[in-house]
Amino acid sequence: MTLRLFNTLTGQLDALEPADGTALRMYACGPTVYDFGHIGNFRTFLQVDVLRRFLKLSGTAVRHVMNITDVDDKIIRNAGAAGLPIGEYTKQYVDAFFEDLEALRVERPETIARATEHIPQMVALIERIAAAGAAYKVEDGSWYFRLAAFPEYGKLSKKDLSGMEDGARVDVDEYEKDSARDFALWKAAKPGETSWDTVIGRGRPGWHIECSAMAMEYLGESFELHCGGEDLMFPHHENEIAQSETATHKPFARHWMHVRFLLVDGRKMSKSEGNFYTLRDLLLKGFKASAIRLALISVPYRRPLNFTFDSLADATNAIDRLRTFRARLIAADIAAGENPQLQEAAKNARAGFFAALNNDLNTADALAPVFELVRAANAAMDGGQLFAADRDAILPVLGDFDAVFDLLEDRDAEPTRRALEWAKASGRIGEVAPELIAAQSLSDADVEALVAERTAAKKARNFARADAIRAELAEKGVILEDSKDGVRWKRK
């Protein structure tokens, strides 16, 4: 079975396979690094991560390119206000972006391409477009793309552009008007602005040309897949297609994937609405990175997702259930043999998981059979009906699940610790959940030492000391669970 993914361009589910049978070439629009990303941005990156991980699990190699837009109007404005060169200004947000991706367990694309490092490729592409008669230069030295030169304009977003005015221009990168305009390929330098001296004049690239040039640089003139959030469909991706196909006379990306928005009370989470949370905001409220990952990927990419704190609490519980189950399964003292029902359950869970993801990456439907298996196996273990061959059948299902979802290893302490450090350094410690500060005052080694001391105290029948240690740990947000397999602990 192969993955069938909705293709915005064709309006249907299309099989997604490498054209040359080797690696699938994919381009994903990356961040504009003028500020910290919010979790709406990360929803898109996480869904692309689910896609690339699932492709790899299914045996398809990927060549994934993501750009970083490190020059644009907002960056130039903010860097100017901060009195910094743009490279210095963007560095803090580039670093933060990669830190956040790591915290959320988003795999690094094979290639990260920065706009400022690909100016020659952009200039060359503009020259090609001009040679094809579709670019023109205006009085101030800026270059525009002539929409009238590309009759297929609108084929991705399916907008009716019949009323298009020839020669009407727009020089901002983002615009929402239905009536399309000739858009800027190259913006002439304004006094004091960052610019590059090139054969087409002194200036800087428009946003759209960046992605066309960098995608072609690393993936060729035609490639399999282009991804981004739904807001990029028009005008950004429409413009990418127009520029690229005018220059090459070849289809640009064959398949277009658009991730629907993360919403807050029905409105797009965005900087301009002021209704956003960054990853650090949530970590400092005491939510774990893994719970944020699950909350953002458990709703399939083609459905808008309304953000709520309840969904983070649900995700926390779900992860807890999975991790506890796996620890129990591994630690359990079980006899040789097999339970045919569990063998069947494991097979069905695996099949259900793959079928759901093959069906347009339906993450919600993929989770259901895994939790069903956990329920069945827990019940079997309670009744002494889970045997060694069952464990051997169930662990690989969890392995496949985790190759995509990546939640089972507890790596949550580090992102939280880093967020706290950042809060201290930036004077925001007052916003931090108090139990988080208390919990962080104990390192993992401290906790282990106290747990060992408590076990020894209990053995020596010094229950007063054992209880005092439990109380101290609880106060610092560490919960102990006594089981017949020993003591487990976790942070609240």
Q: Which stretch binds ligand AMP (CB under 6 A): 224-232, 277-285, 388-396, 459-467?
A: 224-232
| Beta carbons within 8 Å of 171's beta carbon, 6+ residues apart | 142, 183, 184, 187
Of the pair 30, 300, the CB lying nearest Zn ion is at 30
CB < 8 Å & 24+ apart, contacts of 127-131? 127/199, 127/200, 128/247, 128/248, 129/185, 129/243, 129/246, 129/247, 130/200
Ramachandran sector of residue 166 (left: φ over 0; alpha: ψ -120 to 50; beta: rest): beta
Of the pair 259, 295, the CB lying nearest Zn ion is at 259
- Helices 238-248 and 207-219: crossing angle in degrees, nearest 10, is 50
Of the pair 210, 390, the CB lying nearest ligand AMP is at 210
Question: Using CB distances below 5 to 8 A depending on partner kind, what does residue 40 bind out of ligand AMP, Zn ion, none?
Answer: ligand AMP
231 near ligand AMP, rule: CB under 6 A: yes
Of the pair 228, 300, the CB lying nearest ligand AMP is at 228
Q: Which stretch binds ligand AMP (CB under 6 A): 37-45, 139-147, 151-159, 416-424?
A: 37-45
Of the pair 26, 164, the CB lying nearest ligand AMP is at 26
Nearest approach, Cβ of residue 236 and Zn ion (Å): 6
Q: Which stretch binds ligand AMP (CB under 6 A): 254-262, 391-399, 407-415, 482-490?
A: 254-262
Nearest approach, Cβ of residue 219 and Zn ion (Å): 13
Do residues 67 and 214 lie in contact, with contact meaning Cβ atoms separated by under 8 Å? yes
Q: Which residue among 261, 287, 325, 353 contacts ligand AMP (CB under 6 A)? A: 261
Question: Using CB distances below 5 to 8 A depending on partner kind, what does residue 43 bind out of ligand AMP, Zn ion, none?
Answer: ligand AMP
Residue with tokens 């949550």: 412
The secondary element (H helix, E strand) that includes residue 170 is strand 169-170
Q: Which residue among 7, 8, 32, 248 contacts ligand AMP (CB under 6 A)? A: 32
Return the C-alpha torsion angle 217, 218, 224, 228, nearest 10. Answer: -90
Nearest approach, Cβ of residue 44 and ligand AMP (Å): 4
Residue with tokens 């990853």: 279
Nearest approach, Cβ of residue 29 and Zn ion (Å): 3
Residue with tokens 């139990």: 435
Q: Which stretch binds ligand AMP (CB under 6 A): 107-115, 225-233, 425-433, 480-488?
A: 225-233
- Helices 413-425 and 86-103: crossing angle in degrees, nearest 10, is 150
Q: Which residue among 3, 156, 225, 269 contacts ligand AMP (CB under 6 A)? A: 269
262 near ligand AMP, rule: CB under 6 A: yes
Q: Which residues contact Zn ion (rule: CB under 5 A)?
A: 29, 211
Q: Which stretch binds ligand AMP (CB under 6 A): 262-270, 283-291, 332-340, 429-437?
A: 262-270
Among 414, 421, 487, residue whose Cα is nearest residue 455: 487
Binding mask 39-68 for ligand AMP (x = CB under 6 A): -xx-xx------------------------
Of the pair 211, 291, the CB lying nearest Zn ion is at 211
Q: Terminus-to-terminus CA distance in the chain, angstroms?
A: 41
Nearest approach, Cβ of residue 452 and Zn ion (Å): 53
Tokens representing 394 are: 């169930």
SS3 assignment for 442-488: CCHHHHHHHHHHHHHHHHCCCHHHHHHHHHHHHHCCEEEEEECCEEE
- DSSP reduced 3-state for 58: coil
Q: How many chain residues interact with ligand AMP (CB under 6 A)?
A: 17
Among 399, 383, 387, residue whose Cα is nearest residue 349: 399
Among 343, 352, 342, 288, residue whose Cα is nearest residue 320: 288
Do residues 113 and 218 lie in contact, with contact meaning Cβ atoms separated by under 8 Å? yes
Question: Using CB distances below 5 to 8 A depending on partner kind, what does residue 211 bind out of Zn ion, ligand AMP, none?
Answer: Zn ion
Nearest approach, Cβ of residue 114 and Zn ion (Å): 13
Nearest approach, Cβ of residue 36 and ligand AMP (Å): 10
Of the pair 115, 312, the CB lying nearest Zn ion is at 115
Q: Which residue among 105, 204, 237, 268 contacts ligand AMP (CB under 6 A)? A: 268
Tokens representing 363 are: 């993450």
Of the pair 64, 288, the CB lying nearest Zn ion is at 64
Do residues 135 and 185 lie in contact, with contact meaning Cβ atoms separated by under 8 Å? yes
Question: Using CB distances below 5 to 8 A depending on partner kind, what does residue 261 bind out of Zn ion, ligand AMP, none?
Answer: ligand AMP
Question: Using CB distances below 5 to 8 A depending on partner kind, what does residue 222 bind out of ligand AMP, Zn ion, none?
Answer: none
Tokens representing 449 are: 């030492």
Of the pair 228, 369, the CB lying nearest ligand AMP is at 228
Do residues 380 and 386 lie in contact, with contact meaning Cβ atoms separated by under 8 Å? yes
What residue ranges bind ligand AMP (CB under 6 A)? 29, 31-32, 40-41, 43-44, 228-229, 231-232, 259, 261-262, 268-270
